[in-house]
Structure 1
Amino acid sequence: MKKILFTVLAFSTLLKTAQAQNEAAAKPQTNPIALTGGTIHVGTGEVIQNGTVVFEKGKITYVGSGTPSLPAGTQSISVTGKHVYPGLISPSNQLGLVEIASVRATNDQQEVGDYTPNVRALIAYNTDSEVIPTVRGNGILLTQATPVGGVISGMSSVMQLDGWNWEDAVLKKDDGVHLNWPGYFRRGYNFETGSFSVGKNDRREEQFRELEKFFGDAIAYAQIPANDPVNMKLEAMRGLFDGTKNLYIAADYGKEIIEAVRFAKAKGVKKVVIIGGEESLMAADFLKENNVSIIVNTTHRLPNRTDDDTDLPYKLPYLLSQKGLTVGLGYVGLNWRTRNLPFLAGTVGGHGMTPEEALKLVTLNNAKILGIDKMVGSLEKGKHATLIVSAGDILDMRTAKVEQAYVQGKSINLDDKQKRLYRTFSEKYSK
């Protein structure tokens, strides 16, 4: 009897433990699916009322008004009164690389050394992260896992927020190299006072000489068709000079942005993207002339200069787009906060942009910048069926409620740790 009781208790404990874990990766799509009757936000600026989206084998086969002739075996799902969007894309952050920021053993976003372009973020990407489902629940289905630290941090990769491992999750491997431009000033944070500080960067000239030498070595190495032995660091830089990789440059001040772009162009880098760009409006015409895209960091902040308009950060993406730039929006560097990305776009939508233009900041524009727009970023025939269904406006925190999500046609379970805790303690305190 004791043995039976022990077995039952052990099984019960294991069951509860299993229920507390993230759901398994979604299974591949088997039957065609048609989402009918909803408001379709294509992601290109177009909105289709009472529309239908059909997808089969992970690819979109129809987007339009009304209901087309459906293939045999199609599962038809009514989304009348609801909104259908492309899956949102979060660029340049550490989602999947950082679990608990204050617990060092759960952080795998930085390598030792100042020049580590050969570091690949994708192999550190943790598909079992408890943070990922909480982000998915707000409609973000793709992220750019990005290393940090040093002068050249390493290579990022675009990951889907579903999969058993990084091999399953990766959408685009090693899409670019990340450079932290040596600025005139160095920002710091005082943990005792809880305040930020800005001081002169005394090592700037030394850092710039090192950067010049490293790029010189990389250029010489790239001119040799086959290198034996292979230099892993210089090999990682090769794609910058033939256009197969982006060079992402983190820079905020106007003068530093111009200086960084001139440096990259002088070295023969084909594709340059500015990350952050708090003062990018001061360099907007220069960026346009040099065909440089920009991913603006969180707009929920105060302006840098005391004489700037208080609303300038909210207006920045609109003002940059008016200059003809390709502008994306991200929660740069902040893994769990990136779940609020749609609400950043919603704020921009109230400061110059229309809601559909603001939606492009976190869908099609981000896809174009990351080089994945032929696969995702909008709801168009032939693209991946990576999309969400929301009860209300996804850019409005008051009405956004993601009820369905699909990654390449796979139906995603939207449960997460926070929802489980809510159910547990709601039950406890409702008695």
Structure 2
Amino acid sequence: MKKIFTTILVLASLQSFAQNPAPARPQIRPIALTGGTIHVGNGQVINNGTIVFDKGVITAVGDATTPFDRNNTDVYTLAGKHLYPGLISPASTVGLKEVASVKATVDDSEIGVLNSNVRALIAYNTDSEVIPTIRNNGVLITQAMPSGGTISGSSSIMHTDGWNWEDAVLKADDGLWLNWPSYLSREFNMEDFSAGLKKNDKRNEAIAVLKATFADAKAYSEFSSADPMNLKLEAMRGLFTGARNLYIRAGYGKDIVEAIKFAREMGVKKPVIVGGDEAYRVVDFLKENNIPVILSEGHRLPSRQDEDVDMPYKLPGILQKAGILVSLSYPDEWWRTRNLPFLAGTAAGFGIVDREEALKLITANSAKIMGIDNLVGTLEKGKQATLFVSKGDALDMRTNVVEMAFIQGRNVNLDDKHKRLYEKYQEKYGHKRPLAERK
């Protein structure tokens, strides 16, 4: 009996060790960060800058002469450090997936084809071990995105800190997700493990179903209220008023053009292309129709054999220079979302000369696309104090060491599983160095 009791205590201690840190408490005193380099997020840089925030809202941003009440403010001197707006990860399944091979931890899709009434919001798991790991590279806001089916459901924009989804939500049900039926479909041969492309024979049928669904939703939206309420059509109402985005997953140039034409024909006010591997082929069309693009993971091989090997790296710059509102994402590999700032860093080296322009790809641009630019995305007076302090350039994996992070003014704990494992095995192999030295 004693042995069993001891075992229970050991297991309990291991379990408590593995828990994520408690969410940060609300800001109770004004905070001033002084002496650092402020990257505003709109292209502006303030050397030896000062940023002050109170009750989660930025009250002042400027140079070293910016006045504030030093007697009643907690002051942090950050000489040599860099301050950035919290990075934003659109089109993500962070918080919806944990371990791909464990079905019980995967909650990003529902059974069925037309799931417009599905909400990713209530599936967002604030206890995820992945969330603190992305927070440690400055990703403080993520868009919980549903997948599966043809119409996947609604996404919501979440903070990477909170006790539950009610605490974490920044903007609920910001848009509906549509998987556009592709002209080509991929097939995989299990015998020789080869992959190839073939014409999608079910494409026309799928588009016909979508046209009927959107026509019904359009007609339904013309009534101010419906009795009885149709939950699937009610969820689509905002598409026709501009209250919600329609995020369309499409990669091939032909699919991008047809998907946008479909959205316009159906009366959708705010379509957004997600994926966009071949967006460079339809730049003029995207510009003419004022279509934002959320690009998929850029650290990859080209989509076509005849493409430039550097095309995934250059694509953000091509679109940005053409005047298209573009953002970066990790839609499939949620656990790699921590590398989001380095996608922007790669874009800076392959087509976007100005690193501040590259920063927009994961801050201001993402906020504009998702309709939260009045709250976050840049460090400006009146916006939420969601920001972080890095030892060096946040877009460079060699120097991005996040030392402090604030979400709505709350000082967030930066512990995570990666750090705990680092400490554990440093102990085992006897090479442990003080944390201050590693920084």
Aligned residue runs from structure 1 range 286-301, under 5 A? 286-301=285-300
TM-score by length of 1: 0.96
Give the SS at the match of 1:211.
helix
* Deviation sequence 1:223-252 (CA, Å, 0-9, x none): 111100100000000000000000000001
67-76 or 233-242, larger mean C-alpha shift: 67-76
Q: 1:337 to 1:192 in 2, by over 3 A?
A: farther
TM-superposed CA distance for 1:31, in Å, is 0.7
1:247 is aligned to 2:246 = yes
TM-superposed CA distance for 1:73, in Å, is 2.0
- The equivalent of 1:28 in structure 2 is 26
Aligned residue runs from structure 1 range 7-406, under 5 A? 14-71=12-69, 72-188=71-187, 196-353=195-352, 354-406=354-406
- Structure 1 distance, partners of 2:212, 2:335, is 37
> One-letter code of the match for 1:94?
T
* Deviation sequence 1:369-388 (CA, Å, 0-9, x none): 01100000010001010001
- The equivalent of 2:436 in structure 1 is none
18-27 or 376-385, larger mean C-alpha shift: 18-27
TM-superposed CA distance for 1:199, in Å, is 2.1
Give the SS at the match of 2:134.
helix
> One-letter code of the match for 1:371?
G
Give the SS at the match of 1:385.
coil
305-314 or 317-326, larger mean C-alpha shift: 305-314
TM-superposed CA distance for 1:253, in Å, is 0.8
TM-superposed CA distance for 1:37, in Å, is 0.4
Contact 1:159–1:171, Cα closer than 8 Å, also in 2: yes
- Structure 2 distance, partners of 1:196, 1:419, is 38
TM-score by length of 2: 0.94
TM-superposed CA distance for 1:191, in Å, is 7.0
- Structure 1 distance, partners of 2:190, 2:117, is 32
Contact 1:36–1:67, Cα closer than 8 Å, also in 2: no
390-399 or 279-288, larger mean C-alpha shift: 279-288
- Structure 1 distance, partners of 2:366, 2:147, is 20
- Structure 1 distance, partners of 2:122, 2:237, is 20
TM-superposed CA distance for 1:17, in Å, is 2.9
TM-superposed CA distance for 1:193, in Å, is 6.1
- Structure 2 distance, partners of 1:341, 1:356, is 15
> One-letter code of the match for 1:394?
A
Q: 1:322 to 1:169 in 2, by over 3 A?
A: same
Contact 1:388–1:402, Cα closer than 8 Å, also in 2: yes
Q: 1:37 to 1:220 in 2, by over 3 A?
A: same
1:418 is aligned to 2:418 = yes
Q: 1:390 to 1:251 in 2, by over 3 A?
A: same
Identity of paired residues, percent?
58
TM-superposed CA distance for 1:11, in Å, is 5.7
TM-superposed CA distance for 1:306, in Å, is 2.3
* Count of aligned positions: 429
TM-superposed CA distance for 1:290, in Å, is 1.2
> One-letter code of the match for 1:178?
W
* Deviation sequence 1:372-420 (CA, Å, 0-9, x none): 0000001000101000100011100111111110000001111111211
Structure 1: gaps of 5 or more residues: none
- Structure 1 distance, partners of 2:23, 2:63, is 32
> One-letter code of the match for 1:319?
I
TM-superposed CA distance for 1:20, in Å, is 2.0
* Deviation sequence 1:69-103 (CA, Å, 0-9, x none): 32342110111101000000000010000000111
Contact 1:90–1:341, Cα closer than 8 Å, also in 2: yes
* Deviation sequence 1:145-170 (CA, Å, 0-9, x none): 00001110000000000100000000
- Structure 2 distance, partners of 1:319, 1:178, is 25
> One-letter code of the match for 1:428?
K
